[in-house]
Structure 1
Amino acid sequence: MEQITKNKKLSEVLLILWAGGAALLSYSLVYALRKPYTAASFDGLTFFGSDYKVAVTTIQILGYVIAKFFGIKIISELKKENRFRFFVGSAILAEAALIGFGMLDTPYNVIAMFVNGLSLGCMWGVIFSFIEGRKVTDILASLLGVSMVFSSGVAKSFGLFAMNEMHIDQFWMPAVIGGFALPLLVFMGYMLKRLPQPTAEDIALRNERVVLDGKGRKALFMKYAPILSLLFVGNFMLLVLRDIKEDFLVYILDMSNQSSWMFARIDTIVTLIILGLFALFIFFRSNIKALLWLMTLVIAGCLTMTYVSYHYETLDLEPVTWLFIESLSLYIAYLTFQTIFFDRFIACFRIKGNVGFFIAMIDFIGYLGTVTLLSTKEFLDINIEWFALFNHIACVVGAVCTVLFTVAGILIYRKYNKTFRLKEADKTYMNTQYNILSE
């Protein structure tokens, strides 16, 4: 028996290393196909009267938004035998778009970034579908989630390094970095494809994951509409704030006297902290306890973000310290819902569906907000001081999300108690009837 237990633990560790490593590297490499351009400033360039950098960002995100919209259906209904084919096709199309960005003349090459965003919009959901519904999904999803934090900084740092040290043109830099990433990304996809299927124990603890058609998606949302509405609105605000930070950080902070690798160093520390926090949830066998503690963690992050933003001048923080605290607070809140929350939500309420539906929904709503914000800024020709804008938005987002997620947490607890009491009442009634009939 002891030997069986040891073998079981060893197999779980090997699965974590295999699946977690493949998931982390996969999405890190997706960022290498999507985000290096954010390191370029494109000074002096315009897109038919608009700021060129804002235009590139907006149009890429527009493609991403459209992909997220269709991803609500695609990811929810994607069968496991088609995942790898979809994964590889998306990666190849993304790199082809980056080559087009380098080849085409400005400002028309912006269209290539639309194709890039369109091709990568469903990658997160596809990768997550390989690892969801397992006993160790908390750790696997944590590794996948923190890749988003780590890879954002690394992609920018590689972009700056390619331009400053290797003297690669800012328009060709994304294609060069993507060219190195593409074969590695395809290999990581193959590693995910070869993962063993969830075991009977996985299904018992986390519920079996199934495809979700249109009728099922509508019924699921209606059943949990109050909770999901609050979570979707909160995530909409968090994602807009995160995109402003990621895409315009070179405007928010003065990088002239900083190392090209500063982003990577800060994001690496943030990554390790979040990974440590999320990994602790593997010890929560109770799904409802895990959900409530996750909500507590999210609320704490939102409150910290509000406090630091509102009291920035009083605290007199160094820019690097400010960036670290804001990044940690933001990503704790944002990544909770992108990783382990909905996997636990499905397990807690024994929902017949998959995580892809939830993530595609919150991403579509959030990125739609980002496009709206950037388009409004350009249409009204507003001159933005990016640092002040980010601080103000972070303060408001943190405060509003604190309220939204507190109410959502209360509703989750009440919903669970109501469901649990009804089931217990049904069991008691059936036992009573059985005893009466037996007598």
Structure 2
Amino acid sequence: MTSPTSPGASPHAPTLNPEPSQSWLMTRLERASTLAFVVFGGLTAFCVYFSMYAFRKPYAASKYEDATLLGWDIDFGFKETLVIAQILGYALSKVIGIKVISEMQPSRRAPAILGLIGISLLGLILFAVLPMDLKFLALFVNGLPLGLIWGLVFGFLEGRRTTEILGAMLSASFIVSSGIVKSVAVWLMNSGVSEFWMPAATGALFLPVLFISVYALSQLPPPTVDDIAARTQRLPMDGAQRKAFLGRYFPGLALLVGGYILLTVFRDFRDDFAVEIWADLGKEGDPTVLTQSEIPVAIITLIAFGCLVMIRNNRLAFLTIQGMSLLGAVLMGVTALGYVAGVVSPLWLMIGTGAGLYIGYMPFGAMLFERMIAATKTVANAGFLIYVADASGYLGTVSLLVYKNFFAADVPWLTVFLTGAFVTSAVCIVFFILAMGYFRKKVDDDETPAAVSAPAPDPRPAGIPVGAR
């Protein structure tokens, strides 16, 4: 099945006689060193998701202060309507993803990514041409396909011993991309592009990066035999398997998802109304702050979670990740308290709350459920759990925006932001402490199997390398 290691091949994995349909690039990646594989896989995943944000978030760079919903009898802000419409589409996509992502075959992921983003671009074009009172429908169309992209991208990365570092690099994309995409959007508007054509124009600029990075990501070889031994095989899950998994760990998952809902609401508010929050902080009209505050946040979280790859014991890693989410919640609250006390500057308020937020939030998109599946020896996939958490979180965001518009319309954006930081921090601290206590007792040691779904035979062709990725 394998040939002797040739000169220049990775010392960690035997070379593989490629299948006739296998590309040259995939063969090289199978033989690559662990470092080379991580750099290639992490950067391509980063670029795919970064490009997606050019279709999701550019509209948020404008306040749309002169736009109104002329045909509506209710007093509802135009931008708030756009945000809610897109989030409703995005949340519905997450609900759909609970089934679609968990059952998706690997060969369909790359075409699905391109097709879904193509639909989202159509939504942005409709946003430019539809009448004012119907533009919110275009944002719903835009958000509906994009909620599936994370699960499709992460599907290429999960089930490997390097998944933490790959997931950290992927997660860094949504931390920095929103600020950079908005900076590009502001630049386009300053160059004469209208605020309604600006979202589609921003997305079009990132199309070349999207196509190249999706192709590159699709060339990642499947997990090796050693990966499967260390992290458990990842296979599609049917409805019965999903129900059994949720039933087995429901109390702990409910606590984790409860905290994640608050983190999602706070993250979306901070992201969608960053321009308004910065205006209240005295930085109105300065597009550079949208990037300056996010790059340090990405670096902090990337380093924090990249180190998890060194923890081999899955049970220990699972509990450590929960502890890091707890520390993130503490940091978020302490930073907000420091700003109120006058000892933290506006820039460090956004950096500190952002770092705490993403240290708490980021594990739910990758590492937390990845290690949970490995620790419980369950033949499953992390995409299912990620989408259960996401579907719940985005519905919370819609609730906050409706409350803000109807019951707190005159409350400054900064006041809502600080209140959200305090509430999210306090509740998450309680929930995450309880969850850690539950899982310490519930999750067996790595040596004790607790599979919910029966082990399935390895679906990959003979000759898969026993590499160290």
TM-score (norm 2): 0.86
Contact 2:51–2:206 (Cα < 8 Å) also in 1: yes
- The separation in 1 between residues aligned to 2:434 and 2:43, in whole angstroms, is 36
How many aligned positions are there?
A: 422
Partner secondary structure for residue 317 of structure 1: coil
- What residue identity is the alignment partner of 1:24? F
Deviation at 1:258, TM superposition (A): 5.9
Deviation at 1:308, TM superposition (A): 2.4
Match of 2:222 in 1: 197
Pairing partner for 1:25 from 34, 47, 61? 47
Match of 2:438 in 1: 411
* Residue pairs, 1:21-420, within 5 angstroms: 21-47=43-69, 48=72, 49-164=75-190, 166-254=191-279, 256=283, 259-380=286-407, 382-417=409-444
**CA RMSD, Structure 1 to Structure 2 (Å):** 2.0
- What residue identity is the alignment partner of 2:61? A
Measured against aligned partners, the alpha-carbon deviations of 1:71-99 in whole angstroms (never above 9, x if no partner) come to 10110111112112211110111111111
Match of 2:22 in 1: none
- What residue identity is the alignment partner of 1:185? L
Contact 2:278–2:284 (Cα < 8 Å) also in 1: no
Contact 1:310–1:392 (Cα < 8 Å) also in 2: no
Deviation at 1:309, TM superposition (A): 2.2
Measured against aligned partners, the alpha-carbon deviations of 1:139-170 in whole angstroms (never above 9, x if no partner) come to 11000011110101111111111112x12111
| Counterparts in 2 of 1:420 and 1:285: CA distance versus 1, 3 Å | closer
Is the deviation greater in 46-55 or in 170-179?
Answer: 46-55
Is the deviation greater in 272-281 or in 377-386?
Answer: 377-386
Deviation at 1:219, TM superposition (A): 0.5
Deviation at 1:279, TM superposition (A): 1.1
- Which structure 2 residue ranges, 5 or more long, are not aligned? 14-30, 451-469
Q: Which structure has greater helix proportion?
A: 1
- Which structure 1 residue ranges, 5 or more long, are not aligned? 424-439
Contact 1:209–1:353 (Cα < 8 Å) also in 2: yes
Deviation at 1:418, TM superposition (A): 7.6
- The separation in 1 between residues aligned to 2:411 and 2:90, in whole angstroms, is 24
- The separation in 2 between residues aligned to 1:272 and 1:110, in whole angstroms, is 35
Contact 1:135–1:206 (Cα < 8 Å) also in 2: yes
- The separation in 2 between residues aligned to 1:393 and 1:21, in whole angstroms, is 33
Contact 2:9–2:32 (Cα < 8 Å) also in 1: no
TM-score (norm 1): 0.92
Identity of aligned residues (%): 34
Partner secondary structure for residue 50 of structure 1: coil
| Counterparts in 2 of 1:257 and 1:66: CA distance versus 1, 3 Å | closer
Contact 1:342–1:358 (Cα < 8 Å) also in 2: yes
| Counterparts in 2 of 1:280 and 1:77: CA distance versus 1, 3 Å | same
Measured against aligned partners, the alpha-carbon deviations of 1:237-279 in whole angstroms (never above 9, x if no partner) come to 1000000000011111226556312211221111112111111
